[in-house]
Amino acid sequence: MTRVLIVDDEPQILRAMRINLRARGYEVVVADTGAGALSAAASAVPDIVILDLGLPDMDGVEVIHGLRGWTRVPIVILSGRAESRDKVGALDAGADDYITKPFGIDELLARLRAVARRGGEQGASPIVRFGRVTVDLAAHRVTRAWPAADGTDGPLGADGRVSPGSGAGGDVGDVGDGAAGEERVDEVHLTKTEWGLLRVLVSHPGKLVTQRQLLTEVWGARYETETHYLRTYLNRLRQKLEDDPARPRHLLTEPGMGYRFQP
């Protein structure tokens, strides 16, 4: 879900936009000062920032500079001033679009889609690595490197049996050629549910995620009590991703509370 930070000092505008954007499926975070905007952008890490230029504590261009110092998040300016000088200043400071009030909500939404579209395509795709596993959240792709030292280990267990859920039509195939001393990199095929679970966990690196949160985000609110799903699927993920599934090092259990992804 796209997360939008709205920065405006007029409560009624803030409220109207929050309602509108939430109704369109955006996740909304708000701030009503420039300083609040900068700290909210750092903590909430929004996908888009909507910034009103007429803030009480800071000049709008200063806010843009403050953001651009460390992030390339798309910034859409809302302003009552339609003068060319203001637009040029804001755009050259690093804003991506400039809309003058009054504006239509449809136009705002279309412009948000436009900047989000561009913003989403570029930039380092969010890649998470742990152990020998690489998770590409944008491409929905998981790869796992296997040591080639002994040459025989790999997706096939020591007993030669195909481990359940790996191989068997799911894997695309080896990328490496298996030559001695080289690493083999295999695609790890995850089902929709497995992927959803892994996504939630790696999105909160190092943090404890409660069972309830996992169940609602992956299965839906009605599954809040089906904790055995978590056990089954954590087991599957560990089988596919952990070097020693019986002694997980990255997908950890916090008994009585939930699970934790340890990078």
Partner DNA sequence: ATCCTTGTTAACGGTTTGTTGACACCCCCA
Partner DNA sequence: TGGGGGTGTCAACAAACCGTTAACAAGGAT
Phi-psi region of 208 (alpha: psi -120 to 50; beta: other; left: phi over 0): beta
Q: Which residue in this structure is represented by tokens 């195909």?
A: 162
Task: Quickly list H helices, 204-257.
Answer: 211-214, 227-241
Three-state SS for 55-112 is CCCCCHHHHHHHHHCCCCCCEEEEECCCCHHHHHHHHHHCCCEEEECCCCHHHHHHHH
Query: What does the CA dihedral 13, 19, 25, 30 come to, rounded to 10 degrees?
Result: 50
Handedness of CA 107, 113, 116, 122 (dihedral sign): negative
The binder of DNA chosen from 8, 230, 240, 250 (CB under 7 A): 230
Decide if residue 42 touches DNA (CB under 7 A). Answer: no
CA distances from 211 to 66, 214, 235, 243 (A): 37, 5, 15, 24
Determine the size of the site formed for DNA (CB under 7 A): 30
Decide if residue 250 touches DNA (CB under 7 A). Answer: no
Nearer to DNA, 147 or 164 (CB): 164
Site for its own copies in 173-232 (CB under 8 A): 191-192, 195, 206-208
The binder of DNA chosen from 238, 240, 241, 261 (CB under 7 A): 238
Question: 103: which 2 tokens?
Answer: 């504006």
Stretch of 31-39, 43-51, 115-123, 217-225 contacting its own copies, by CB under 8 A: 115-123
The binder of DNA chosen from 71, 213, 253, 262 (CB under 7 A): 253
155 binds, among its own copies, DNA, none (CB under 5 to 8 A by kind): none
Minimal distance, residue 110 CB to its own copies, in Å: 4
Decide if residue 213 touches DNA (CB under 7 A). Answer: no
The binder of DNA chosen from 8, 47, 97, 194 (CB under 7 A): 194
C-alpha triplet 219, 224, 226: angle, nearest 5°: 80
Stretch of 26-34, 138-146, 198-206, 255-263 contacting DNA, by CB under 7 A: 255-263
Decide if residue 208 touches DNA (CB under 7 A). Answer: no
91 binds, among its own copies, DNA, none (CB under 5 to 8 A by kind): its own copies
Q: Is residue 53 classed as helix, strand or coil in its secondary structure? A: coil
Determine the size of the site formed for its own copies (CB under 8 A): 43
The binder of DNA chosen from 39, 125, 191, 225 (CB under 7 A): 191
Handedness of CA 168, 169, 170, 174 (dihedral sign): positive
**φ, ψ (nearest 5 deg) of residue 59:** -70, 145
Q: Going edge to edge, which strands form the sheet with 258-261?
A: 208-210, 258-261, 251-254
Residues that bind DNA (CB under 7 A): 164, 168-170, 189, 191-194, 211, 219, 226-236, 238-239, 245-246, 253, 255-257
Residues that bind its own copies (CB under 8 A): 72, 84-85, 87-88, 91-92, 94-98, 104, 106-107, 109-111, 113-114, 117-119, 121-122, 138-141, 172, 191-192, 195, 206-208, 252, 254-257, 260, 262
